[in-house]
Chain A
């Protein structure tokens, strides 16, 4: 593999990992709100979370460009106040990936929170645990498999994200050129087929490793519970 290809692989891994880790706490919080909350505007929040799943990725990317671009309302504010710039940076790609993977992550976690037996939470309360402790020591451990599944889904989605990323942060080698962007570029130039095929295989390998890793992790949690 060429240096350019390695860079794209590394960048993709960095972007997908960053996107997953940073969106996970918010994903858990939103999933909990949707699973347990009773408040006005809940279905609106639900729709909003799912929007990236239904919208064309290019539209999501363009909306990101409008709002998080240097002249956008949020992007401008963040750049001036904190010096955080998203547009045409790898961080922007991570933001795009996080938003695209968010619905999948929230869905998986929400389902697992809904499956947690609330009678166990009530029991923890009678033992003196306040709601925050109940969440940390009962709810969270019991929906851990769902959290892992959600994180892996988001990670896989990030590895494959193309439309929103290329619209928002373009296709700059070494900065925003991810695996899919590079594969796309290679298919556009003559003689790029062999390289595109190599990267396709790498992409397949990474996805399968991620899936395998999550299975192993889920299994280890299950056996640890059996023998604990």
Chain B
């Protein structure tokens, strides 16, 4: 599947001007609030008619303003999971889920029947309930299932976790991962959360002030995009668990990581997100310190972050790591590109892959 977007849209003084192509998997539309993410998704979904542009899914043109073509939302077969779940209050969960089935015609799209979707999202016990009686997390899972059962060719998710607290987010994230890996439908996912994007995205499209500022694989883009809270994504697998100390040992390109015991089996892929401010640098291999994770690498680049700080990009055996240090430390330690250093990782804010 492919999604080609090239649109211009003005609303008041805001000018959205976006051009990108989304690959299979989960494409994250990333940017701060007001950057035009939701408008862009609404344009793709057919809820907003762009002033100018062209949108195509799998080569089928949905919008082409030059030819005066505009396919209305109900004929696009694009699923939409809204921030506020928008379940129909007058229908039971089961009938909410089956709503789109009446209209789903033609082949292709997501592989979805009620049984599979209910299992995938863990909502079997809710079927006879009423939307009013569901928790926020349950509502979002039902909303995801409802969109899937309409057999969409593309699934749009507009900050589906934004209205939920931390615990509910943690409850839903694994389901979105399974969706990405098992449902066979590409996802365009709007988020302003680095943690969500790091965990879920295959590709990242960074949006700033209505313009696309970067597009690429999550490992390349996220360290650049996350200017205020820099960090790096590290893919790893669980090599064993240390039950005595309740730790999990991870193998990554950069080396071994020890993290608090993860509830996943040995061999499971995980994705760690290491924030730049959680990384200290040392010229010598540090000994007798409390931090468990020390990775060796060389400095690949230094970019100033404000007047007093600098972001150091490290190359750890091919994997990228970011460290934020003070300008004074750069000067005192004589940090420069090519210099071998040891990165002390204070904490792995860590995302299951």
Contact = CB atoms under 8 A, between A and B. Distances in A.
Interface string B40-83: 00000111000000000000000000000000111111111010
A131 B74 CA distance: 8
A219 B86 CA distance: 24
B345 to A, nearest CB: 43
Contacts of A131: 74
Interface of B is mostly: loop
Given A125-B72, A142-B90, A228 B130 contact: yes
A124 B99 contact: yes
A153 B100 CA distance: 36
A192 interface: no
A225 B133 CA distance: 11
B103 interface: yes
Contacts of A22: none
Contacts, number: 77
A43 interface: no
Contacts of B84: 119
B127 to A, nearest CB: 11
A133 interface: yes
A124 B46 CA distance: 12
Contact of B147 (A125, A127, A134, A138): A127
Contacts of A188: none
Given A122-B73, A123-B80, A228 B103 contact: no
A128 B82 contact: no
B293 interface: no
B239 interface: no
Contact of A228 (B76, B82, B92, B150): B92
A126 interface: yes
Interface residues of B, number: 32
Interface in A113-172: 119-120, 122-131, 133-134, 137-138, 141-142
Nearest to A127: B100
Nearest to B151: A128
Contacts of A225: 89-90, 130, 132
A123 B82 contact: yes
A2 interface: no
Pick from A122, A123, A126, A129 the residue with the most CB of B within 10 Å.
A126
A142 B105 CA distance: 26
Contact of A226 (B72, B77, B130): B130
A127 B146 CA distance: 8
Contacts of A120: 86, 88-89
B286 to A, nearest CB: 54
Contacts of A127: 74, 79, 99-100, 103, 146-147, 150
B72 A128 contact: no
Nearest to A119: B86
A115 to B, nearest CB: 12
A40 to B, nearest CB: 22
B305 to A, nearest CB: 40
Given A122-B73, A124-B88, A128-B104, 13 more contacts: A119-B82, A119-B84, A122-B86, A125-B72, A125-B73, A126-B74, A127-B100, A127-B103, A128-B75, A129-B74, A129-B102, A141-B90, A225-B89
In the A-B complex, the 10 residue pairs with the closest CB atoms: A128-B103, A127-B100, A126-B80, A123-B86, A125-B73, A228-B92, A127-B150, A141-B90, A125-B74, A130-B74
Interface of A: 119-120, 122-131, 133-134, 137-138, 141-142, 225-228
